Structure 1
Amino acid sequence: MITGLYETHLFVANLELSIEFYKNILGLEQCYFEEERRAAFFWIGEPKESMLGLWEKPKSEIDRRHFAFKCDKNFIINEATAFLKEHGLNPFNFLNDGTDQPMVFAWVPAIAIYFDDPDGHHLEFISVLDGKGKPENGIISYERWLELETKEK
């Protein structure tokens, strides 16, 4: 019955600032703008495949949300941290290892790095990795994931 997630929506304090962020920094294609309702919509990936809606609300009505953008794993491994920093964003992970490098959710397995939008919504770049999930390994660095994968071969 369900074949995917088509759209998600966020409340933002400043619609123009958020349009700038999602369009010019993250590179999403803006597909619709409605001044009267203070809303903007963006295609995620190919047009009409997936959509993000932004709705301007007073700051007091904004509750922070989280969602992840599916990305190419090579981008996450080799470029994502530098890309985020170049755009004044602070990449973070859940490893508490003092780094801002991507981490692996071993149960999937998937590699990911987090960052915040202008309203503090937690966003994520994520890519599913090859191989079998190993939930017993928890959340680990990509280097550790590669070590474990090499040991199994």
Structure 2
Amino acid sequence: MIKGLYEVHLPVEDLERSVEFYERIGLELAHQGRGLTFFWIEKGKSWLGLWETEQVNVPYHPSLRHIAFQVELEDIKRAKQWLADKGIEVREAFGFAPTGPVVLPNRPHAHAAIYFEDPDGNSLEFICPIELDTSPLTQMIYLEEWEKS
């Protein structure tokens, strides 16, 4: 029934700053209005709504302020440098230092992911499904380690 992400909305403190950030990571502007902007995540299929508000600094919880953008395996391998080239730092996740993507052992597939934040502290993720071979993966490891095993 569910085919993908349709829309997600985030609060932002400075809409102009946030528009610049999301354009920097490659999203295409879909609509601008007073105090809000929409970007295509996948043109014609899914979008991100940014809403300017003074109530950005509410307690963070990933169920309210998190977006995962699906990427290809080759892209996630170079994501840390790609983000750095745009002045964006990756962040620690699940106790893993921000040195590169981590593999999340979700059965029957695993996912490689890397995490960063937008200017308002909203949690962003690049994620890529990966196929597990016959070796079981029971804990998270760095993608680089997973590829060597």
TM-score tier after normalising by the smaller chain length? 0.7 to 0.9
Distance 2:20 2:134 in 1: 37
- Asked if structure 2 preserves the Cα contact closer than 8 Å seen for 1:109 and 1:132, the reply is no
How far off is 1:98 after superposition? 4.2
1:39 aligned residue: 36
- Structure 1 residues 134-143 or 3-12, which shifts more? 134-143
TM-score, with structure 2 as normaliser: 0.84
User: For residues 93 and 112 of structure 1, do their structure 2 counterparts lie closer, same or farther at Cα, with a shift above 3 Å needed?
Assistant: farther
Q: Number of residues paired by the alignment?
A: 143
User: For residues 80 and 61 of structure 1, do their structure 2 counterparts lie closer, same or farther at Cα, with a shift above 3 Å needed?
Assistant: closer
- Asked if structure 1 preserves the Cα contact closer than 8 Å seen for 2:103 and 2:142, the reply is yes
Percent of aligned positions with the same letter in both sequences? 38
2:122 aligned residue: 121
Unaligned runs of 5+ in 2: none
2:46 aligned residue: 50
Unaligned runs of 5+ in 1: 149-153
1:151 aligned residue: none
Distance 1:14 1:110 in 2: 32
User: For residues 56 and 95 of structure 1, do their structure 2 counterparts lie closer, same or farther at Cα, with a shift above 3 Å needed?
Assistant: closer
Q: Which amino acid aligns with 2:36?
A: A
- Asked if structure 2 preserves the Cα contact closer than 8 Å seen for 1:93 and 1:101, the reply is no
1:4-153 pair list within 5 angstroms: 4-23=4-23, 25-35=24-34, 38-45=35-42, 47-59=43-55, 62=58, 64=60, 65-77=65-77, 79-94=78-93, 96=95, 98-107=97-106, 108-131=109-132, 137-148=138-149
Q: Which amino acid aligns with 1:55?
A: W
- Structure 1 residues 79-88 or 117-126, which shifts more? 79-88
CA root-mean-square deviation: 2.2
User: For residues 9 and 62 of structure 1, do their structure 2 counterparts lie closer, same or farther at Cα, with a shift above 3 Å needed?
Assistant: farther
